[in-house]
Amino acid sequence: MFKRREKRSIFRFFNEVIFSLKGISRAIEYVGIRIKRIPDTPHKISLGMSCGIFASFTPLFGLHFLIAGLLSYLVRANVLASLIGTFVGNPITFPIITVFNIKLGEWILGSSEYSSDDGGKIFEGFLDFIFLIYKSFFTEGSIRENNVPRINEFLNGVFIPYSLGGLIFGVVIAVISYFLLRPLVSTYQKKRDIIRAKKAQKKFMRKRYENR
């Protein structure tokens, strides 16, 4: 189920890695800028980010934005921050998240259907299968009978362990993230307010001097 259809050359591998790293660095920079501009309390911003981080550990790829938004709405967190938090799940981290989720899920269930440590291979196979399901439903209207055994294999061997491991890791990482982010956001906002107050005072003093 998880075999690569075409072998990657060394040049293509390094090209993809370099491209991904550049993209991730830009994404991190963008996330930092957006977080700084969110007009909300440190609690709501941090809680929203945690919702997005949790959503990134779920196996419902393509729905992470929706899951993050709904969770943040339910717990009265900042929705925009939750969407930004989903950037934790990206081409660099997903293979790692996949291995940890499946390994933990298999350990809890007492099974080891896929003992491979190649997260990239499992993750790509995971996506291929999800696209197959989407295609079956939206283009053919139903799932073919010959795909049923494959679906059962996927659900028992991958989806259930991934979901179980992702639920546990997602909650743990989200809670840790909240307590790490809240003081950082609070400190930044206090410094920002001090700078704004100083600028406003200087502007006031300048106008007062000009009106003399």
- The answer to whether residue 144 scores a pLDDT higher than 60 is no
> Nearest 5 degrees, angle CA 65-CA 68-CA 181?
120
pLDDT at position 19, please?
Answer: 46
Of 143, 119, 117, the residue nearest 130 (C-alpha): 143
Alpha carbons 167 and 58: distance in angstroms, whole number: 7
Per-residue pLDDT of 53-84, as tens digits, reads: 999 999 888 889 999 999 999 999 999 999 98
pLDDT at position 195, please?
Answer: 84
pLDDT at position 74, please?
Answer: 96
Per-residue pLDDT of 167-189, as tens digits, reads: 999 999 999 999 999 998 899 88
Percent with pLDDT over 70 in the chain: 64
pLDDT at position 200, please?
Answer: 79
Q: Which residue has the higher pLDDT, 116 or 104?
A: 104
Confidence band of 16 (pLDDT split at 50, 70, 90): very low
pLDDT at position 206, please?
Answer: 78
Give the residue extent of every domain in the chain: 10-185
- The answer to whether residue 14 scores a pLDDT higher than 50 is no
**Encoding tokens for residue 123?**
């993750």
pLDDT at position 188, please?
Answer: 87
